[in-house]
Structure 1
Amino acid sequence: MPVRIRLTRKGRKKQPFYRIIVADSQAPRDGKFLDVVGTYDPMQDPAVIKLDTEKLQEWMGKGATPTGTVKNLIDKYVAPVIEAA
């Protein structure tokens, strides 16, 4: 069972809000998932990304791989945190 870290869509029509989830790669986009590791709100200016880095590290340590979009979001979130420290 390959596990992926990906987005699931929430919110209303024309007002998307996404959860960053850990799910089986064959599960539907908005279907069953294993864990929620963060959120992404593209409607804010600038877009708001919230991640639970401990959960993210744990799942990636277990072999979960992020999708391309989630990888870009992680890079945008983690890089400013490292520079601020």
Structure 2
Amino acid sequence: MSVKIRLRRIGAKKHPFYRLVVADTRSPRDGKFIEILGTFDPMTDPVKLNIDQEKIKAWLQKGARPSDTARALLINQGLLPKESAKKRPTKPPKAAAAATATPAPAAEPATPVTQEA
């Protein structure tokens, strides 16, 4: 079972409020979850984030992977190291790849068959 640390929306319409939960990746966003790790209120100024650091560290050690948004929140709280921007390796252009490929050996021309009668 693959688990993620992600946000679960519980706020009213146009009033978002989230719970930081551990959930199976196959369950829906607002569906079944395993454990509540904290809350996140983006509408307050400054943004209010209450989390249980011990539970989060325990789940990260167990192999839970945070979603992109949860990862950003955990980096801001200092629970995860800030990762440098990793660039994806670029593929060489197709023209350059074709030029570096070894050309196929040319086929010998077929000799005409003559029949003697």
When normalised by structure 1's length, the TM-score is 0.89
Q: Which has the higher helix share?
A: 1
Structure 2 counterpart of 1:24, one-letter code:
D
**Size of the alignment, in residue pairs?**
79
Q: Which residue of 2 aligns with 1:35?
A: 35
Segments of 4+ moved more than 6 angstroms: none
Q: Which runs of 5+ in 1 are unaligned?
A: 80-85
Question: After superposition, what is the alpha-carbon deviation per residue over 1:33-82, rounded to whole angstroms, capped at 9, x for unaligned?
Answer: 00000110000001111110000011111100000100100111227xxx
What is the CA–CA distance in structure 2 between the aligned matches of 1:38 and 1:50, rounded to whole Å?
5
Q: Which residue of 1 aligns with 2:24?
A: 24
Q: Which runs of 5+ in 2 are unaligned?
A: 80-117
* Structure with greater contact order relative to length (CA < 8 Å, sep ≥ 6): 1
Instruction: Provide the aligned C-alpha RMSD in A.
Output: 1.0
